[in-house]
Amino acid sequence: MTRETLAFVATDTPEAEAALAQLRGMYGDVEPAQADVIVALGGDGFMLSALHQYLPLKKPIYGMNQGTVGFLMNEFSRDDLAERIHAAQLSTLHPLRMTAVDRTGTAHDALAINEVSVFRETRQAAKIRITIDGRVRLEELVCDGVLVASPAGSTAYNLSAHGPILPLEAGILALTPISAFRPRRWRGALLPRTARVCFEVLNPAKRPVSAVADNEEIRDVVRVDVAEDRDVDLYLLFDPEHNLEERILNEQFIP
């Protein structure tokens, strides 16, 4: 078995930093650019940060949970790490690309692994027109916000907003309202992964709106375009018995 060279990175908690020191002593450590695999120690938030930070390296990331939920992470263990990584299954994700135009006319570009969301900034509800592939589908949504979620992100904020869980291979995106006031009964939509979504903010001076791609926020936007970027690949490694597809499927049976 070929032994992969590993780069260890960790979130800034005492537990994760202690695990980082132990694993470096047991398995060695190189810089991420020289590694075959990056091992991330933390929770889902840290994994998202690591995926964004190391995206240009095009390296697979193997996460071990040192956080709270750990949906994107494997179980933490110091033992047999090289063997686990060698046996791990590769999941390839494609992020969402957000282009948000603010009130000054400046365009901001960002990638989202989980979701792109727009939110009201004040006590005034947001009013948003939704266009899909150039066709207006909802003339005015009055809401706290609305989001587009990838399959990998469908179990995160999307699920908390009562959106659907999406299997990885389903080829669809979730369009989910956040506290819709009008139309009150609208529960969102399932879109093909090729869909191009446009949110137009109505009356942005009175009802300002922010756009968020994962953790990157752009304030006072007037228009937000969202589409899956198939030219960008993200690589995650999972233990065979707990691969990402199985985790997403299992989430649908949790009471």
Q: Which residues contact 166 (CB under 8 A, 6 or more apart)?
A: 149, 150, 151, 154, 172, 173, 174, 190, 248
Q: What is the pLDDT of residue 223?
A: 98
Q: How far is CA 79 from CA 2, 84, 199, 236, in A?
A: 17, 9, 48, 20
Is-contact 61 54, C-beta < 8 A? yes
Structure tokens at 222: 């007037």
Catalytic residue among 29, 44, 214, 225: 44
The tokens of 31 are what?
């810089």
Specify the pLDDT at position 54: 97
- HSE toward the beta carbon, residue 136, CA cutoff 13 A: 7
Angle at 229 between CA 242 and CA 160, to 5 degrees: 50
Q: For residue 2, what pLDDT is reported?
A: 60
- State which residues of the chain have pLDDT below 70: 1-2
User: Would residue 229 show up in a list of annotated catalytic residues for this protein?
Assistant: no
What's the Cα-to-Cα distance from 121 to each of 51, 125, 135, 147, rounded to whole Å? 28, 9, 27, 15
What confidence score (pLDDT) does residue 211 get?
A: 98
Which pLDDT does position 1 carry in this prediction?
Answer: 44
Determine the pLDDT at residue 116.
98
CATH class of the 6-93+233-251 domain in this structure: alpha beta
Helix %, strand %, coil % of the chain (to 5): 20, 40, 40
Name, in order, each residue with C-beta under 8 angstroms of 151's C-beta and a sequence gap of 6 or more: 166, 167, 168, 170, 172, 173, 248
Tokens 């697979």 belong to: 60
Q: From 49, 47, 45, 56, select the one nearest 91 (Cα to Cα).
A: 47
- Cβ contact 8:41 at 8 Å: yes
217 touches 114 (CB < 8 A): no
CB 65 within 8 Å of CB 75: yes
Residue 225 token pair: 């375009």
The reply to whether CATH 3.30.565.10 applies to domain 96-228 is no
Query: Using one digit for the tens of pLDDT, what is the confidence trace for 30-71?
Result: 999 999 999 999 999 999 999 999 999 999 999 999 987 778
Write down the pLDDT at residue 46: 93
Domain with CATH 3.40.50.10330 in the chain: 6-93+233-251
| Main-chain phi, psi angles of 85, to 5 degrees | -65, -40
* Separation between Cα atoms, residue 148 and residue 163, nearest integer Å: 10
